[in-house]
Amino acid sequence: MFRILSSRMIVPNIHLLTIEAPAVARQANPGQFVIIRAEEEGERVPLSISDWDRQMGTITLLVMNIGSTTGRLAALRERATIPTVVGPLGNATEIENYGTVLCLAGCYGIGSMFPIARALKEKGNRVITILEARSAYLLYWEERLKAVSDKVVHITRDGTRGFRGHVGRLPEIIKGFDEPIDRIYANGCTFMMMRSSQASRPLGIKTMVSLNPIMIDGTGMCGVCRVRVGGATRFACVHGPDFDGHEVDWEELLQRRKTYLPEEVVPLQTSGCDQHAHIVKETVDG
């Protein structure tokens, strides 16, 4: 059993969990993830490791509550336990001294970008971090990212902070910097990573993305996380999750991610109802 040491919602719908998992904390590296279960009979969900403390034996996860398992995780309180934390899984992000690196992060990717930006800075890169959100109130960990970045830029869909719009504005934002960009890392939702790759391709800047296809076992056995990269079939869990964004078949990835949409929506619409009906019946029956 793995103990939850703290749990809180840091911006609407994004929950920060600190979990006691010493073996994972000891070996975690930027870009890796864990697969966890919220309860014995529950689904397995992959979550990026956003930070770790090797001495304390803890890992930090940022969970966006979008479905039945993430909803259960979000509801966990301090001192609760969960049955499964497997990891670290996936390959660590390739970190070298490239020169000036752009770290582009949105939604739960803001969390997973933090250890990457920190490692890039430690390697001697100039780090420019771009945080993307629908609105300013959804931005988090700015201070943490500022501490490991030379510059932090914001893009918000509604213009409440920084540039108005989305990552499609990347070329003009990059033009405004008085330095060439040698490499881009993008972490966030599939659309954001796809748009970032499309925007950076004409600029000829290598863009690494952290793919998040549907996963089950996370060990290369089930084939569910299959993605096409550079014309070859790759399994995101063991060959990734980082890939060259200019080589990813985004259409196929987006299509495959929709595979279980109806099955995911039904539990969301009905979860808790049977329990609620039971309580109502007990109340009515006296």
Ligand X SMILES: Cc1cc2nc3c(=O)[nH]c(=O)nc-3n(C[C@H](O)[C@H](O)[C@H](O)COP(=O)(O)OP(=O)(O)OC[C@H]3O[C@@H](n4cnc5c(N)ncnc54)[C@H](O)[C@@H]3O)c2cc1C
Contact 84, 163 (CB under 8 A): no
Q: Rule CB under 6 A: say whether 243 interacts with ligand X.
A: no
Q: What burial class does residue 44 get, using C-beta atoms within 10 Å of its C-beta: 0-12 exposed, 13-18 middle, 19+ buried?
A: middle
Q: Rule CB under 6 A: say whether 241 interacts with ligand X.
A: yes
Closer residue to ligand X in complex, CB, 48/181: 48
Q: For the chain, how many residues are written?
A: 286
Q: Rule CB under 6 A: say whether 60 interacts with ligand X.
A: no
242-244 β-sheet, strand order: 163-164, 151-156, 126-133, 100-106, 183-187, 207-210, 242-244
The two tokens of residue 78 are 């301090």
Contact 82, 69 (CB under 8 A): no
Measured torsion, CA atoms of residues 159, 163, 165, 167, in degrees rounded to the nearest 10: -150
Closer residue to ligand FES in complex, CB, 44/246: 44
Per CB under 6 A, the list member of 198, 216, 228, 257 interacting with ligand FES is 216
Q: Rule CB under 6 A: say whether 92 interacts with ligand X.
A: no
Report the site for ligand X in 126-165 (rule: CB under 6 A).
Answer: none
- Applying CB under 6 A, which part among 22-30, 187-195, 214-222, 251-259 lies near ligand FES? 214-222
Per CB under 6 A, the list member of 10, 66, 222, 254 interacting with ligand FES is 222
Q: Rule CB under 6 A: say whether 48 interacts with ligand X.
A: yes
The two tokens of residue 286 are 């006296």
Under the rule (CB under 6 A), what is the footprint of ligand X? 33, 43-48, 62-64, 66-71, 108, 112, 212-216, 241, 264
Under the rule (CB under 6 A), what is the footprint of ligand FES? 215-218, 220-225, 235, 237
